C-alpha cells in the first residue's frame, strides 16, 4: 500500500518548502471553518498501467478530452454562512464512461444520502477526472490547513483512506503549504487536480499565473484521497455536487 510519503520527484519550478513529499492535495478546501455551500452550478507504476484515456489533454489546466454536457460536470460554491461571502468554487469533470454511470444513477431521482453514497462509490473508482478550486476571497494558511485536516478526517472515517495515511497527512500539511505562510491563498488563486489512472497531479497557481506547486503522486490510496474525497459523507461539497448532477438532467 502506498504511504503518505510516496511520490515522484518534484518538478523544477516548484518553490514550496516541506520536510516530506506530498501524498495528495485534494483535501485542501472541502471544509473551511465557518463555511457552508450555496446553490450548485452545472458547471501501480506507469509502465505497468496505461493511461486511463488516450484522449486526455497533456495540459493540466485544460479538461479537454473528458466528457462534455449533462452528467460530465459538477460544481458547487462554498460561501461564508452568515455574510453570504463566496469563498471558492469547485468544478469537477469526468470522462464519458463515468458520466454515463452517473447518468444511470441520478437521472430523474431526488437527492438522498443513499444516492450520494452511490455517486461516491462511482467517484472512488474514477481513473480519468479533473477538478479545479478557484478562490473568491483571501484565505489564511491556518484556516486552509484546518479545512484540509477536517476533510481528511471525514475521508478516513468513511474508509476512503486509511487512518495511518490521514495522520501522516495531518502532521505534514502545514509544511507542504508553507509557501502560503505569509500571504495565504489570494482571491483568484486556483488549485488544479488531474487523475490519470492512479497518477495524481496537483498544481497551485496564483492569480497572476505563477505556479507555486506542481506535484505528481501515484497509488490507489492517493487517488482515492484526491477528487473522490469531495464526496465523503460530511464534507461540505458532497450534497451540492450530487444535486448538480440531478439538475443537469433537466438542463438547469
Return d(Cα 5, Cα 127) in angstroms, integer.
21
Report pLDDT for 5: 38
Mean pLDDT of 70-94: 82
What is the rounded CA–CA span in Å between residue 243 and residue 227? 17
Q: Is 14 part of a structural domain of the chain?
A: no
First to last CA, the chain: 42
CA dihedral 65, 70, 73, 74 (to 10 degrees): -170
Structural domain of 39? 35-248
Query: How many Å apart are CA 225 and CA 124, to the nearest integer?
Result: 9
d(CA 194, CA 88): 18
Confidence class for position 63, pLDDT limits 50, 70, 90: confident
Average pLDDT over all residues of the chain: 77
CATH number at residue 45: 3.50.70.10
Flag whether 214 is in a domain. Answer: yes
Lowest mean pLDDT among 7-11, 151-155, 194-198: 7-11
Is 201 part of any domain?
A: yes
**Is the confidence at residue 23, as pLDDT, over 70?**
no
- Going by C-alpha positions, the residue among 101, 93, 103 that lies closest to residue 121 is 101
Residue 93 in any domain: the answer is yes
**Mean pLDDT of the 78-100 span:** 82
Instruction: Please indicate, yes or no, if residue 25 is contained in any of the structural domains.
Output: no
Task: Give the mean pLDDT of 89-105.
Answer: 94
Q: For the residues 116-145, what does the mean pLDDT come to?
A: 93
- pLDDT of res. 252: 54
Say if CB 46 and CB 218 are below 8 A apart: yes
Give the HSE-up count for residue 237: Cα atoms under 13 Å, Cβ half-sphere: 38
State yes or no: pLDDT of 134 exceeds 80: yes
Q: Is residue 7 part of a domain?
A: no
Would residue 5 count as lying in a domain?
no
Residue 126 forms part of a structural domain: yes
Total domains present in the chain: 1
Amino acid at each position: 500500500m502506498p504511504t503518505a510519503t510516496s511520490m515522484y520527484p518534484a518538478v523544477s519550478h516548484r518553490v514550496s518548502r516541506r520536510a516530506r513529499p506530498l501524498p495528495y492535495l485534494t483535501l485542501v478546501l472541502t471544509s473551511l471553518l465557518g463555511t457552508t455551500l450555496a446553490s450548485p452550478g452545472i458547471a501501480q507504476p506507469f509502465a505497468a498501467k496505461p493511461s486511463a484515456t488516450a484522449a486526455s489533454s497533456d495540459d493540466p489546466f485544460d479538461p479537454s478530452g473528458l466528457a462534455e454536457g449533462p452528467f460530465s460536470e459538477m460544481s458547487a460554491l462554498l460561501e461564508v454562512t452568515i455574510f453570504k461571502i463566496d469563498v471558492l468554487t469547485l468544478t469537477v469533470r469526468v470522462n464519458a464512461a463515468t458520466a454515463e454511470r452517473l447518468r444511470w444513477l441520478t437521472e430523474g431521482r431526488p437527492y438522498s444520502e443513499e444516492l450520494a453514497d452511490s455517486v461516491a462509490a462511482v467517484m472512488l473508482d474514477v481513473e480519468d477526472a479533473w477538478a479545479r478550486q478557484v478562490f473568491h476571497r483571501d484565505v489564511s494558511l491556518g484556516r486552509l490547513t484546518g479545512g484540509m485536516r477536517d476533510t481528511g478526517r471525514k475521508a478516513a472515517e468513511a474508509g476512503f483512506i486509511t487512518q495511518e495515511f490521514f495522520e501522516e497527512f495531518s502532521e505534514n500539511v502545514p509544511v507542504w503549504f508553507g509557501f502560503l505562510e505569509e500571504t495565504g491563498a489570494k482571491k483568484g488563486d486556483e488549485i488544479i487536480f488531474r487523475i490519470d489512472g492512479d497518477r495524481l497531479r496537483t498544481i497551485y497557481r496564483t492569480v497572476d499565473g505563477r505556479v507555486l506547486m506542481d506535484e505528481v503522486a501515484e497509488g490507489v490510496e492517493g487517488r482515492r484521497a484526491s477528487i473522490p474525497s469531495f464526496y465523503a459523507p460530511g464534507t461540505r461539497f458532497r450534497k451540492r455536487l450530487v444535486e448538480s448532477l440531478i439538475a443537469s438532467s433537466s438542463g438547469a
